[in-house]
Chains A and B, each alone.
Chain A
Amino acid sequence: MKFDTPLALFQHLLSIDENNMEANLPNFINEKHEFYADVTALITAHEENKKQTSFNELIGKQAEQLVEDNAIHELLNTQVGVYKLTKKLGQGGMGAVYLGERNDGQLEQKVAIKFVYPSIVALAGEGFLQKEAQHLANLDHTNIAKIFTVGYTNENIPYMLMEYVDGTPIDQYCEESNLELDARLSLFKKVCDAVQTAHKNMVIHADIKPSNILVDKQGEPKLMDFGIAKRISQNEVSAQKNISAASHNYASPEQVNNENLTTASDIFALGQNLKYLSEDIKLKPLKRNEVQSVIKQCLHQEPDSRPSLTKLMTYLDDIKKDRSLETYSSSLFYTTRKLISRYKALSFSTMTAVILLIAFMFNLVNSNIELEKQSEIAEESLEFLEGSLLQLQAGDINHKTVKELVQSRADEIENVESADVQAKLNYIFGRIAHNIDEFDISMTLAQKAIDFFGKNQKYYSQLRAMTSQAEAIRKKGDVNKAIAIYKEALEIAITHDINTSIPTINNNLGGIYFSLNDYENAYIHFLETISNIDKLERRLDHYGSEAMMYQNFASAAGQLNKYDEAEKYFKLAQQTLNKSSDKNLGQKAELNSQLGFFYLHQEQYDLASEYLTSSLRSTIDLYGKDHLNVAYKSFNLAKTYQGLKQYTKAQPFIEQAEKIFLTKFGEQDYRLAIVRNGLADCLYFQGQNEEALSIIEKTIPVLTGFFGADHTRTTDALESKADIEKAIAKSDSEV
């Protein structure tokens, strides 16, 4: 084989066996050959090359000569217009910034003078800088560093004259000032607002990062360096599109892939910034989740799926004000919950889906998720199930089947590995059982949870389980035991400073006393509740719970004739309920009813009729016109009209109530009797005495039987009867 050049031989050796070139060389030529030295050199060079070559860098360095970019790094102490460049403030992918201090003897003024690399200016084409500067000058916002003008130095290097911001990067500022989440979010929201202004002016920032957000001495964040701001336009030349000095992690996927930027790219960057700003502060798990979910939305791969700025800012407000977030729970949880609350009753299939969900969560739980996450899942599932099952109407679904399902799942809890999660699940299932009226199961499970939590000093969880147990016991009828448990719980809460539980326990205790007509004690505990309402933990429907507590207190106050207090707190309940993002129709109806009853009690019939009418309407909507609740409300409304002496109006409502009571309770029921008395009155005042009499004759025996002959209700009825008979007699005589 003949080789024309050493290179050719080298190439051949390389192709035979790269790793043994030196060894194989003697097979072709010997040391004395003229090529020998050169080939050996090539082999050595190859070995060296395998470690590294520097030709690319050489080329790169040379390329830098193509453009005069480096010139802008040598401008210190030069003069630009009336300013001297006294300090280099920074440099980045787009150019360099200097501090310019005015030295023409006129004013003392500091500005930032920014030089863009000539190569970039050239690349972007003629007029680029002018146009950009114009757009930026149009952005008039407290939190955007202002652009004053654009110019060229004597050497024809373009620059922008900008507002000088003496500040700290926002991440540093937050850390140094030890800012809490709320304060950070406030700052961040200002930045979002600034970005929104930019977007409205067709400018995308495209490089939002902490070092571009300086917080000045007044604590105002200033968004800087719209250096690669791009017009939102589809018609730009591709050359501009390709400029991408975007700094690493803040660049959105489309930016990295050099696709078209949109306002959504800024949202991505904002998400990263929020992540960065919230990463290393301590937050409660719930709050952390809320923040994370917002971040996640912003960081969506698909630009279109990211939230708009308006939405983002609303989310920030929600986090600060502790309102429940639209995005908070996992989509499965929240959507399902909403789905269920749309229906008045759960169909069996929906219920099955719920149970299957529980099963699914079991699988999750038994897989390798860390304990804390498991606990979080457990919390979430509880809330979900509570929410969905509260909607359950007894008899709407095949109760037995559900019971079996719940029971079987509950039995499987023992197979769960972690004792902590077991306890949580026991608690959850205790609640589920409670909601389907299986109080025995509920109590057993609650007890298991209580035992575990108590032993392990997880007081908060223990208290929740005790509450659950007390409720079940109460529903079973052992009121005293329930009270005892609550009192024990209260002690634990006070001893161990579990402040969040104090309002809840007091509220439930108050409820028990109220149902026993012990309004004094009810009042005391409800008062404790609202006095501690700020300690209440913010759960998903916080406003609903808060309103309910006000309602309870107002009801107790009303019973004790503390009318002013009652009215005040009813109103407060109304306001609070309106803040809730949930419709809370049921609760609103209840509140209206309570208010109506309250005014009725004080004989303010006009107000009463207003509230009761509204409440009745909602109740019919929610429960259907044959529901028992409708009966009570109809009756109260009728009484209102009777108070206004509008008997014709009252009558249909009483009849509605009568019909329902008759169906539900039968002829001999005392409630029916009371309603019928009302009807009798109605008829009597409309002059229909005979009908009135026949009705009241039916009611008296029932009332006597139930209340006794001496009871006011009985004696009142007897009086009415007497009046009617007198009236009949009178009209007879007139005839």
Chain B
Amino acid sequence: MEDKQSLLHDVSPSENFTEILNCWVIHNDLKSANQLRSIIYYHLKGIVKKQIASKASTSKLIEQLPNTTSLLHEVLVQLSPPKEIFDNREQFFLSLASFVRWMLLDDLKAKNAQKRSNQREAITEFIPLPEDPEPYIIFDNALSKLEQLAPRSYKVALLHYFLGYDIDDIGIELTIKKSTIYNELSTAKAYLRTQY
């Protein structure tokens, strides 16, 4: 397993805050990267379930997992100094969402690298390995492009996909009108879809 710490320095340090966040997460309380991974895994699983459930016509409260958007938040909020969260609320959540996005991608890359290095031992060197564009990587690349093309759209998408926020939640965090959020999110989705 690759050392998380070394990879951290590749993170785009958009905010000083992001570094602090990472610092706390990795160094201070969560003893293993596995634990962090598990948290994020359940967090994302929860989002997916919530989305699926809300699409179903009869979705009983009981059939949904509890609001796991708060799972990640809760863990990290307990670790981060409160002052920081309060002052930079929007930043906090965007950083959090970025972190999740990053973690997914990073993990995927690491595993792919592992696979490739394993495979290299088995086959001869001069046969070039095809570059398999994994769907998820395509998706992530598209996100990066969206970030450049339409920053506000990107932010909305970030909160939606990686923190599981719905339109109401996003409105609270980003202080934009609901109609605007709908617009931004639809734009992001349309764009992402066209990248496939």
Contact = CB atoms under 8 A, between A and B. Distances in A.
Interface in A1-56: 5, 7-8, 10-11, 14-15, 18, 38, 41-43, 45-46, 48-49, 52-53, 55-56
A415 interface: no
A65 interface: yes
A11 B139 contact: no
A46 B189 contact: yes
Interface string A242-263: 1110001101000011100000
Contacts of B168: none
Given A11-B187, A123-B42, A56 B47 contact: yes
B35 A122 contact: yes
B150 A7 contact: yes
Given A11-B183, A58-B135, A248-B63, A46 B190 contact: yes
Contact of A55 (B63, B139, B187): B139
B167 interface: no
B37 A119 contact: yes
A249 B42 contact: no
B193 A53 contact: yes
Contact of B38 (A10, A65, A120): A120
Contacts of A154: none
A735 interface: no
A57 B32 contact: no
Secondary structure class of chain B's binding surface, majority of residues: helix
Contacts of B65: 244
Contacts of B190: 10, 42-43, 45-46, 49
Contacts of B66: 242, 244, 256-258
27 contacts: A5-B150, A7-B149, A7-B150, A8-B149, A14-B187, A38-B194, A45-B194, A49-B186, A55-B189, A55-B192, A56-B47, A56-B161, A60-B47, A60-B48, A63-B104, A65-B108, A66-B104, A119-B42, A122-B38, A238-B75, A239-B35, A239-B39, A242-B71, A244-B66, A248-B62, A256-B61, A256-B66
A242 B74 contact: yes
Interface string A55-80: 11111111111110100000000000
A249 to B, nearest CB: 6
A238 B72 CA distance: 11
A118 interface: yes
A126 interface: yes
B38 to A, nearest CB: 4
Given A11-B187, A123-B42, A118 B108 contact: no
B195 to A, nearest CB: 9
B60 A248 contact: yes
Contacts of B108: 62, 65
A60 B164 CA distance: 11
A586 interface: no
Contacts of B71: 242
A698 to B, nearest CB: 85
Contacts of A56: 47-48, 51-52, 161
Interface string B157-188: 00001100000000000000000000110110
A589 B191 CA distance: 90
B161 A125 contact: no
Contact of B37 (A42, A55, A66): A66
Contacts of B75: 238-239
A504 to B, nearest CB: 48
A3 to B, nearest CB: 11
Given A11-B150, A119-B41, 13 more contacts: A10-B187, A42-B191, A46-B189, A49-B186, A59-B104, A59-B136, A62-B104, A63-B41, A65-B108, A120-B38, A122-B38, A126-B32, A242-B66
Interface residues of B, number: 52
B35 A62 contact: no
Contacts of B68: 242
Nearest to A46: B190
Interface string B104-121: 100110010000000000
A45 B193 contact: yes
B37 A122 contact: yes
Contact of B31 (A14, A41, A126, A258): A126
A560 B189 CA distance: 98
Q: Which 5 A-B pairs have the closest CB atoms?
A: A60-B48, A123-B38, A122-B34, A45-B193, A63-B44
A14 B161 contact: no
B116 to A, nearest CB: 15
Contacts of B111: 65
Contacts of A53: 189, 193
Contacts of B194: 38, 41-42, 45
A532 to B, nearest CB: 50
Nearest to A93: B65
Contacts of A42: 190-191, 194
B21 interface: no
Nearest to B193: A45
A587 B108 CA distance: 82
B31 A64 contact: no
B189 A58 contact: no
A215 to B, nearest CB: 27
B193 A238 contact: no
A123 B104 contact: no
B94 interface: no
A123 B39 contact: yes
- Residue of B41, B63, B189 with most partner-chain A CB within 10 A: B41
Interface string A688-709: 0000000000000000000000
Given A5-B149, A67-B37, A60 B183 contact: no
Interface in B69-88: 71, 74-75, 78
Interface string A112-146: 00000011101101100000000000000000000
A598 to B, nearest CB: 64
Interface in B142-156: 149-150, 153
Contacts of A45: 189-191, 193-194
Contacts of B96: none
A298 to B, nearest CB: 17
A122 B32 contact: yes
A228 to B, nearest CB: 13
A46 B134 CA distance: 23
Nearest to A123: B38
B168 to A, nearest CB: 17
A506 to B, nearest CB: 54
Given A7-B149, A41-B194, A60-B44, A125 B186 contact: no
Contact of B41 (A15, A46, A67, A239): A67
Contacts of B139: 55, 58-59
